[in-house]
Amino acid sequence: MPELPEVDFAAGIARSALVGRILTAVRTHHRAQRRALPARDIGRIVGRRVVRVERHAKHQHLVLDDGAVIAVHFRMNGDWAISVAGAPLPAYARIDFTTNDGQSLCLVDSRALCTATYHRPGAPPRLALGPEPDALTVDALRDALARRTGAIKPALLDQRVVAGLGNIYAAEALWRARVHPAQVSRRLSPAQLRALVRGIKAAIADGFARQGRYRDGMRDRPFKVYDREGDPCPRCGTAVRRIPQAGRSTYFCPSCQRAGAAARA
Ligand SMILES: [Zn+2]
């Protein structure tokens, strides 16, 4: 699943392809996207200029010159691909946005779960999002977790707690903070909360720093624990474990991240 650094990178691609250009054609190529973005909405989009591309957590908003918004979400597998108008579409192209400079920005997604929806001027999409990692504070995290009796790892995936944190960086952040993924959210100590905020920021910053290499196909098992079951923990050498939590895989070090253990301040 694309995480915050990947979506931020993708929003940059959309920005360079669309901002200042007029949308001369918008085509949907799969019934799921046709349902979400019907012909009557496309009729309101074509002929409009894109004035900016905003990223809110993992949502991308293409803002048009009349104030309308096309809200894009990659879901599990979406991405952007640029092609020349008239050339064969990239594999799994679900929607293509053609501009007056002869390029098409294609929303590609092998699973066709990505979404693009139209929002009229004055009625932007409502997003229930907590602070993004770079703006997250210890107080905000403590307040968001104060009444949560469930495990910390699934809580971190709730976009109202931290906006843009996904399965990969939640695991990486918990490893950095030495917090067990099954620890009860509201029982985190002040030292653990501080360590977790630092861990979230560091894990995401690492993802941003890696972004260029990631795209160049040099993804060489870049994570500390994510997707590394059985590999030695980079800190202590203990084999990384994988457990299911809320239907997702969680990776952690059973030595560094002990249940109930206090994080190092
Ligand atoms: Zn370890």
pLDDT tens-place string over residues 12-42: 999 999 999 999 999 999 999 999 999 999 9
Above 60 in pLDDT, residue 261? no
- 125, 119 Cβ separation under 8 angstroms: yes
- Domain borders along the chain are 4-119, 133-252
Question: pLDDT tens for residues 98-135?
Answer: 999 999 999 999 999 999 999 999 999 999 999 999 99
C-alpha of residue 237 to centroid of ligand 1, in Å: 6
Q: What is the mean pLDDT of the chain?
A: 92
Q: Pairing state of beta strands 103-108 and 93-99?
A: antiparallel
User: Catalytic site residues?
Assistant: 2-3, 58, 248
Phi, psi of 167, rounded to the nearest 5 degrees:
-60, -40
How high is the pLDDT of residue 48?
A: 98
Mean pLDDT of 72-77: 93
Give dist(CA 234, CA 153) in Å, integer: 20
According to DSSP, residue 79 is labeled E
Give me the architecture of the 4-119 domain, per CATH. Answer: Alpha-Beta Barrel (3.20)
Question: pLDDT tens for residues 217-234?
Answer: 545 557 999 999 999 999
87 or 71: whose pLDDT is higher?
Answer: 71
C-alpha of residue 255 to centroid of ligand 1, in Å: 5
How high is the pLDDT of residue 209?
A: 85
User: Would you state the structure tokens that stand for residue 158, as one six-digit string?
Assistant: 């709730």
C-alpha of residue 176 to centroid of ligand 1, in Å: 10
Pick the CATH number of 133-252 from 1.10.8.50, 3.40.50.720, 3.40.640.10, 3.40.120.10: 1.10.8.50
C-alpha of residue 233 to centroid of ligand 1, in Å: 5
Give the strands of the sheet with 50-56, arranged side by side: 50-56, 59-64, 69-73, 115-119
Nearest to 46 by CA among 16, 74, 66: 66
Confidence band for 138, pLDDT divided at 50, 70 and 90: very high
Give dist(CA 198, CA 255) in Å, integer: 20
Percent of the chain at pLDDT above 90? 87
- 49, 64 Cβ separation under 8 angstroms: yes
Give the amino acid at 201.
K
